[in-house]
Amino acid sequence: MNSTIIVELIKGGAPAWPRLETDTHWMAVGSSRPMEDSWRIGQVEMVHWFGELFGLHRMDAYQLLTQTALAPIANAVDANYSVVVKAAKALFPTAAAYDGLHADLRNRSTQLI
């Protein structure tokens, strides 16, 4: 299997923790010790992101996240634990994170093939 990865640096206003977007999910990663802190970091970052994506108050974003999020444990053997908090885009109204950067990168990647 061959993969092509395109990364775009967005200057200014960076989130506190890594955010990822795929065709199907929005995700945030928390990494810390103990594992509960990793989970909490990922949850808080997703609350902030939901607020930005949908214009929600923090408590409304928190309520929405608690009803929709999955939190698979990504790393449980290293010095820090990593937890990915993810939410399926299919559950939400259409929203374009970072001015539609994901769609732009997807379009650019098709031109490389």
Provide the whole-model pTM. Answer: 0.84
Q: What is the CATH number of the domain that holds 48?
A: 3.10.28.20
Residue 31 to residues 15, 36, 42, 74, 102: CA-CA distances in angstroms?
14, 10, 8, 9, 24
Give domain status of residue 47, yes or no.
Answer: yes
Helix (H) or strand (E) holding 70: strand 69-70
| Contact of 25 with 87, CB cutoff 8 Å | yes
Give domain status of residue 75, yes or no.
Answer: yes
Give domain status of residue 36, yes or no.
Answer: yes
pLDDT score recorded for residue 47: 97
Give domain status of residue 105, yes or no.
Answer: no
Give domain status of residue 102, yes or no.
Answer: no
Residue 106, pLDDT > 90, answer no
Segment 64-99, tens digit of pLDDT: 999 999 997 766 677 788 899 999 999 999 999 988
Give domain status of residue 61, yes or no.
Answer: yes
Which residues span the domain enclosing 41? Answer: 19-88
Segment 18-50, tens digit of pLDDT: 999 999 999 999 999 998 999 999 999 999 999
Per-residue confidence band for 113, with pLDDT thresholds at 50, 70 and 90: low
How many domains would you assign to the chain? 1
Give domain status of residue 5, yes or no.
Answer: no
pLDDT score recorded for residue 77: 72
